[in-house]
Amino acid sequence: MNFRKLKIYEGRDIDDVRQLAGLSERDRAAMKAVAAVLPFRVNDHVLEELIDWDAVPDDPIYQLTFPQPGMLAPGDLQRMMGLMSAGASPAQIRAAAREIQMRLNPHPAGQMELNVPRLDGQPLRGMQHKYRETVLFFPAQGQTCHAYCTYCFRWPQFVGLDDEMKFASREAETLLAYLRAHPEVTNVLFTGGDPLLMKTAVLRRYIEPLLRARLPHLVSIRIGTKAPAYWPHRFVTDADADDLLRLFEEIRAAGMHIALMAHFSHPRELEPPIAEEAVRRIRSTGAVVRCQAPLIRHVNDDPTAWATMWAAQVRLGAVPYYMFVERDTGARGYFEVPLARAAEIFRVAYRSVSGLARTVRGPSMSATPGKVLIHGVARVGSQQAFVLQMLQARDPEWVGRPFFAAYDPAATWFDQLRPLAGDDEFFFERELQAMKRERRSRDLARRSLPVFGVPPLPHAAVS
């Protein structure tokens, strides 16, 4: 296959996307208004290989990548369209957009308050450490993507919010220092954005120090990416594709597990031959491809789509891993699916595939206390209830313990659920509140102390 240059279109380029020529002037104006508030970015692979333009606007990949009017509240949409049609200044448009953005819960599930780790008492803004064994690292050069998903729960990374609202780090040595101080951590997840938007030479600067350090407790490196779906050329024809695959091989040769946490949202993303070739080449290095995505209204809220996608993943040697519940942030009102319906979609899809595809878990909510799995709906005594369990938790003692919530057919997120009648609270709530109080106390104490930098590691530890 021949080299293909990545061509990107963003909000300012909407009029240049030739496939949109059939849209009315008002439809394009609405699209631009939404793109001024929420991130928009698409590339020519998505435009030419994934979207069925004869099915627009209902095509699922079009819904997945292009701004839709329903993603903003009607009043907010009209306000933004009015400002733009009246020729408002860029500063006025940004100010109006910022006001809307701050009402969209930009950092859900305690990401800022509870997930930011500390080293020598100082917060590490480019990392998250929510679960004991796993540290998330956000390389600064990987805080964008080959294309943006309209549902993205990390949308604040891409819309120009203040640096304090972003997760990003250039500090490979700080990551290594933190890992040395935390032997309970067994794996690092490089995330973003999309770390595989970075050139391989840049990615190496973060990974090679971990390989050289040979930390006995660090056994896995994960990379969260949408590249196999949105830009499979990254693994096949890009100029440094072969070097990227060599890096995966070097991770395996160092005795570590390498997993690509691939985001496939719809079976069509697996159909292009180059996507199949990308998965084949990744697997040839010894890396494991684990597949995950949220359940998204207008895109994949259909059990047939999930069953087809899981079966295709198994055929390619990838591992179906997670069905998530769309998080309570951004355009949630447009994309969210009631939990009762999510559980039914999962059940119907799950029973439709063989045992090889039943590695998948879901639907799962990445909520403040942990990853809450909805097992289904059952009757507990005289009450109808959601049967729940944590797959991961802030306190490992919470993991695997079944618990119940009162059935609510309209609930779309964990904070809308209530304990069964007769129970005052869920079993973990007092301890979770204590964690929040402890973190607030530490933050207050830190503000009264002098600030010290993190000492650099020896030169040999830095690439």
| pLDDT tens for each residue of 316-359 | 999 999 999 998 888 999 999 999 999 999 999 999 999 999 99
Q: Answer yes or no: is pLDDT of 107 > 80.
A: no
Report pLDDT for 156: 77
Q: Provide the percentage of residues in the chain whose pLDDT is more than 70.
A: 92
Q: Under a CB-based contact definition with an 8 Å cutoff, are residues 295 and 337 in contact? A: yes
Q: Tell me 195's DSSP state.
A: G
| H-run or E-run covering 72 | none
Q: Is the pLDDT of residue 165 over 70?
A: no
The per-residue pLDDT for 172 is 87
Band (pLDDT 50/70/90 cuts) for residue 461 is very low
Give the span between the Cα atoms of 284 and 401, in whole angstroms: 38
Can you tell me the distance from the alpha carbon of 115 to that of 62, in angstroms, rounded to the nearest whole number? 33
Return the H-helix or E-strand segment holding 265.
none
CB 128 within 8 A of CB 157: no
**384 Cβ neighbours under 8 A, 6+ residues apart:** 377, 378, 406, 407
pLDDT band at 110 (very low <50, low <70, confident <90, very high): low
Task: Please compute the mean of the pLDDT values over residues 246-255 and round it to a whole number.
Answer: 98
314: DSSP letter:
H
**122-123 and 361-366 strand pairing:** unpaired
CB 302 within 8 A of CB 345: yes
Q: Which of 5-9, 47-51, 121-125, 185-189 has the lowest mean pLDDT?
A: 121-125
Amino acid at 124: L
115-124, 176-185, 243-252, 368-377: segment of lowest average pLDDT: 115-124
For residue 197, give the nearest of 150, 127, 256, 138 by alpha carbon.
138
> Does the pLDDT value for residue 271 go beyond 50?
yes
For the chain, give the percent of residues with pLDDT over 90: 80
> In this predicted structure, what is the pLDDT of residue 458?
32
- What is the number of other CB atoms lying within 10 angstroms of the CB of residue 286? 13
Q: Which helix (H) or strand (E) holds 224?
A: strand 220-225
Q: How far is CA 48 from the centre of its chain?
A: 24
What fold characterizes domain 111-443?
A: TIM Barrel (3.20.20)
Residue 168 has pLDDT above 80, yes or no: no
Question: What are residue 205's phi and psi, to 5 degrees?
Answer: -65, -25
| 53 has pLDDT over 90 | yes
Q: Is residue 113 over pLDDT 80?
A: no
Mean pLDDT computed over 154-183 = 76
pLDDT score recorded for residue 157: 78
Amino acid at 119: L
pLDDT band at 11 (very low <50, low <70, confident <90, very high): very high
Distance CA 245, CA 251 (A): 10
Tell me what the pLDDT averaged over the chain comes to.
91
pLDDT at 360 over 70: yes
- Delimiting residues of CATH 3.20.20.70 domain(s) in the chain: 111-443
Q: How far is 223 from 203, CA to CA, in rounded Å?
A: 10
